[in-house]
Amino acid sequence: MNNIFLLINLILNLINLSFCNNLNNNNEYKYNVFPKIIKKVMPAIVNIYIKGNKYDNNIKNKIYNFIYKNILKRKYFGGLGSGVIIDSKNGYILTNYHVINNSNLIKIQLYNKKELQAKLIDFDTKVDLALLKIISPFKNLVDIKISDFKNINVGDQVIAIGNPFGLGQTVTFGIISALGRSGINIHGIENFIQTDASINKGNSGGALINTKGELIGINTAILSPTGVNIGIGFAIPSNTINGLINQIKYYGKIKKYNIGIHGITIDNYISKKNNLNINYGVLIKEIDANSIAKKCGLLKNDIILYINKYKIKKFSDLKYILFINYSYKKKTILKILRNNINIDILIKF
């Protein structure tokens, strides 16, 4: 009997030793892998400094404004942000449009502190992204690989790199808290990654990367009553980034298309108010004249239920999926409900 107890005790000790060794190995991997990834990626992240001017619309007298427009109405300002090198050969950098808006001078500071001048190539205000090109002589730039959005999951560990408050390149850690967030950029295209990695003023345009060192998002905004990070940050996802890159590849530029639909999300309240028997989709309230929607045969009071196989749960879904399909030149069929009759409509961008 004693021999049996001794054998059991020996087995338990061996299991415990194996577990501890595995735990130590995992911890060693966990804490050693991040510095290697960061060292690899840091050269692809840049600090952005701008100078520019904008007009003060508080001056109401039109004649006064016209006479003194270039003296009194113009306000000079400086700003800062971050950017990501996406093409090292040609010197292309991606950042948020709001970082460089109204700028007339854009300076890029590389990881090695070297400063270069850049210019705005193109932008899309709806997704808040801008493409810059370095115009100063450069060499030995490093770019970053863009991750496939299909590989991004809630709970994944992420690293945010940027230039908060102008301090210089700063690294913070967190996880993906949620995907498909909307309600932040109401008038634009929304499908944000939510993260608790610390993002502050100056981080805009910087990188959100995965544990492989791939770009999964461009840090864009925070939700905070004080303007300081409270663990709710948002990044533009990699499929939106690739969408803009594809537009440049297919069309030669970023095309600002507008399908011309004004609508509302059908929830329980809207469904009841309009005597509908569904609680999802988008109810079209208005269609712009000469718009894509008008030319394709959409009508006021049509209800958009699906785009291809994707169920439309809210208006932001509609805008985002149309943007992706347009960017990737995908065939786009809207499944709509018109007077209780199901109809398919082909969208021609």
Q: What is the mean pLDDT of the chain?
A: 83
Let me know whether 177 and 242 are in one domain: yes
The domain tally of the chain equals: 3
Let me know whether 177 and 199 are in one domain: yes
Range of the domain at 245: 149-251
Let me know whether 130 and 210 are in one domain: no
Let me know whether 335 and 267 are in one domain: yes
Query: Which residues lie below 8 Å from residue 191, measured CB to CB, with a gap of 6+?
Result: 179, 180, 181, 182, 237, 239, 240, 316, 320
Of 251, 286, 317, the last residue of a domain is 251
Question: Of the listed 103, 204, 316, 327, which one is catalytic?
Answer: 204
Let me know whether 126 and 217 are in one domain: no
Q: Residue 37: inside a domain, yes or no?
A: no
Let me know whether 156 and 247 are in one domain: yes
Let me know whether 269 and 242 are in one domain: no
- Please say if the pLDDT value at position 88 is more than 90: yes
Q: Residue 30: inside a domain, yes or no?
A: no
- Note if 98 is an active site residue: yes
Let me know whether 61 and 108 are in one domain: yes
Supply the pLDDT for residue 346.
93
Let me know whether 199 and 128 are in one domain: no
Of 222, 251, 280, the last residue of a domain is 251
Q: Residue 274: inside a domain, yes or no?
A: yes
Q: Residue 143: inside a domain, yes or no?
A: no
203: domain CATH number is 2.40.10.10
- Note if 128 is an active site residue: yes
Q: Residue 19: inside a domain, yes or no?
A: no
Q: Residue 195: inside a domain, yes or no?
A: yes
Supply the pLDDT for residue 65.
47
> Of residues 227 and 283, which shows the higher confidence score?
283
Residue 89: pLDDT band (50, 70, 90) is very high
281: domain CATH number is 2.30.42.10
pLDDT per position as a tens digit, 208-265: 999 999 999 999 988 877 777 788 999 999 989 998 888 887 777 887 767 899 999 9
Question: Of the listed 82, 122, 124, 128, which one is catalytic?
Answer: 128
Let me know whether 156 and 245 are in one domain: yes
Residue 59: pLDDT band (50, 70, 90) is very low
Q: Residue 7: inside a domain, yes or no?
A: no
Question: What average pLDDT score do residues 274-299 get?
Answer: 91
Let me know whether 186 and 228 are in one domain: yes
Q: Residue 90: inside a domain, yes or no?
A: yes
Instruction: Determine which of 28-32, 42-46, 102-106, 308-312 has the lowest per-residue pLDDT on average.
Output: 28-32
Residues 115, 46: Cα–Cα separation, whole Å: 10
Let me know whether 100 and 183 are in one domain: no
For the entire predicted model, the pTM comes to 0.80
Of 225, 251, 277, the last residue of a domain is 251
